[in-house]
Amino acid sequence: MARSSSGIVAGLTAAAIAVIGFLGYQASATAPAHPQKAAPQSPVPAPSDSGAAKPDPAKPVAVPAGSGTGPRVVYSVGQKRVWLVGPSGEPKSFAVMPSTVHPVPGSYTVGSRTGNVTGSDGVPIEHVVRFASPQGIAVGFSARVDNTLPAPDPGKKTGGVRMTRADSDAMWAFATIGSKVVVVP
């Protein structure tokens, strides 16, 4: 009898493992692409202290003068900030982590977009909005899938202007092919 009981136990164990594997597969197949979880406390490092007064977080940061008119994305390399300026003129603004390669100040057009890809720094990124290619390096806005914003390796030429995933969602919805991007110092 001991022999037949061990065969039943082995069969039940194998069946339980198969059921758990199937349920795990179902859970992963129906998981949302962007699970809702608490955002990191401070994913964007504070801008370096240049002696200037720090902006009040309760007040919006003004769109840089000389950045044009009409709907556009404004990217200030020096302020490490982006503004999405819609038709009404009311901007959405957020901090970004610049890449090591920067486009010269001027007006550009969104030329390509990619939903998910591996970035030039080797990490998975999403919502890539490309608009320039100085020095043969594609420059665009994107978010790391892990929602972190580390400073880029200064020894590598990369073009990813990184932002949080929430800001990347807004950029993706706003900056379609042909959208205007204005780069200011």
pTM score, whole prediction: 0.69
Q: How far apart are CA 123 and CA 145, in angstroms?
A: 8
Given this model, what pLDDT does residue 63 score? 95
Q: How many CB atoms lie within 10 A of CB 56?
A: 8
Domain range annotation of the chain: 72-184
Structure tokens at 92: 């959405």
The DSSP secondary structure of 108-143, one letter per residue, reads: EE--EEEEEEE-TTSSEEEEEEEEE-GGG--EEEEE
Q: How many CB atoms lie within 10 A of CB 146?
A: 13
Residue 134 is given by DSSP the state: G
- CATH (one of 1.10.286.10, 2.40.440.10, 3.90.1150.10, 1.10.10.10) for 72-184: 2.40.440.10
Helix (H) or strand (E) holding 140: strand 139-144
pLDDT exceeds cutoff 50 at 42: no
| pLDDT digit string, tens, across residues 97-148 | 999 999 999 999 999 999 999 998 889 999 999 999 999 999 999 999 999 9
